[in-house]
Structure 1
């Protein structure tokens, strides 16, 4: 007797999935690649290496790297606290980790600008000390970090929760210190997930726009990010320039996506081997 399935069959679900991927994802990417191919390699290289474009790309990559380093350290620490520690208000803190996902990035940018401006709560303390955040690369990195920190936390957290404590207990029985247990037992087990979260965080930082434009000041050659420069080129009807900048960001994103998928595959193999 043939059992009636609750969910639609493979053909329908696969068809809907492929249709979505083609219409929403592949077609825009293909259109961008074809538009960039019309430029020609020499013109493309001239656009990308132009002083203003190069400065925007360098700022974007540098600020994204700074934000990712912070997210890697703080995100790992926060995931550890949420999994291994018990304290009043833990559920509230856990829920707060998802605020950057739910909050419009423009609102986040306005809030950060208000806080770190010269007359803001934080800026009034930092600027007399010679630490300026708004309209600097530090402000750009701060906005990127705010919007991308959940990727590290939410990627590492479930792996820590599923980690079998018997290995840590065995190491402790053999006399290993807490730091040695973390370095030799825990961290190797969460490393694939940790690297996946860090990669996703970096990719998200590269594409950030709304939170950055308010706190960066958008000064050409100084605090102008690549995504904003692409929008400016579109407003100037310079479609070739916008396409070239977008293609560079797309290429970096695809590389990061490939790295993320490889790390996830490695994590699944590790989980299967230790099951």
Structure 2
């Protein structure tokens, strides 16, 4: 006769940890989202459409989502290079550069915005050389792109670093021994192993860029129809006690970000399944 004994675990069991997880996520994440959606649900369809389809608001959508997407793509490319160099090579100052990657995390966003203005304004250290060439960064859409790229870089680098560390160099050497070129090794060996992490870093950088506020408002100049981002309009409506309009814009941004992240996570799941990770 077999006697089934319950295994005793040192750490708390599944029921306790699951209950704590659901409570914490519900309190911190779901409750604010539910409050926003419930407030928006009080608006009529006409009121909601009027709030989210205003021409000034539509212009902010194009800038917010377009600049966020482009910044995330830039960080996807150059963040991968930075992560690869920091992991695969040893050189003087490596630890300093590795710590420098976290600077956008530690620096308050308002301070980052002021620092970027100092650099790229017409009389700034870099801007004074760019504007004679016809490149205006501060108080232009390009400044928004620069700010979003700045704050999104650490998400890609820190996501890729542990994956690159686990990627054995012997696989690349074996590919080279078998006659593959560097491009073939990169395309057939390295990139497939990094694809899930690349998509994760991209989605994190994109999500952060969509909701960024502090660093952008200083360098953008907040010019209507040109450099206004949607988070700025949400704050402006709230300051004007137009809570209904702010809730409508917030709900639309929330839904758009959710759809984009859902698509990216689906691609990540497909890539991980395809490569057996």
Q: Kindly provide the CA deviation profile for residues 210-253 of structure 1, in whole angstroms up to 9, marking residues without a partner as x.
A: 00011111111111100010011111111121111101110122
**Paired residue for 1:127, among 120, 124, 131?**
131
Residue of structure 2 equivalent to 1:229: 233
- Structure 2 residues not aligned, in runs of 5+: none
8 A contact 1:196–1:263 mirrored in 2:
no
Residue of structure 2 equivalent to 1:24: 28
For 2:124 and 2:9, locate their aligned partners in 1 and report how far apart those are by CA, in whole Å: 58
Displacement of 1:16 = 2.4
Residue of structure 2 equivalent to 1:153: 157
For 2:54 and 2:96, locate their aligned partners in 1 and report how far apart those are by CA, in whole Å: 48
For 1:13 and 1:261, locate their aligned partners in 2 and report how far apart those are by CA, in whole Å: 25
Q: Kindly provide the CA deviation profile for residues 76-107 of structure 1, in whole angstroms up to 9, marking residues without a partner as x.
A: 11111112222111111111111111111111
DSSP 3-state at the match of 1:221:
coil
For 1:224 and 1:120, locate their aligned partners in 2 and report how far apart those are by CA, in whole Å: 22
Matches within 5 A, 1:135-174: 135-174=139-178
Residue of structure 2 equivalent to 1:208: 212
**Paired residue for 1:61, among 61, 65, 68?**
65
**Paired residue for 1:91, among 95, 100, 124?**
95
Displacement of 1:260 = 4.5
For 2:10 and 2:124, locate their aligned partners in 1 and report how far apart those are by CA, in whole Å: 55
- Structure 1 residues not aligned, in runs of 5+: none
Between 37-46 and 182-191, report the one with greater CA deviation.
Answer: 37-46
Aligned residues, how many?
A: 273
**Paired residue for 1:238, among 228, 238, 242?**
242
For 2:182 and 2:272, locate their aligned partners in 1 and report how far apart those are by CA, in whole Å: 27
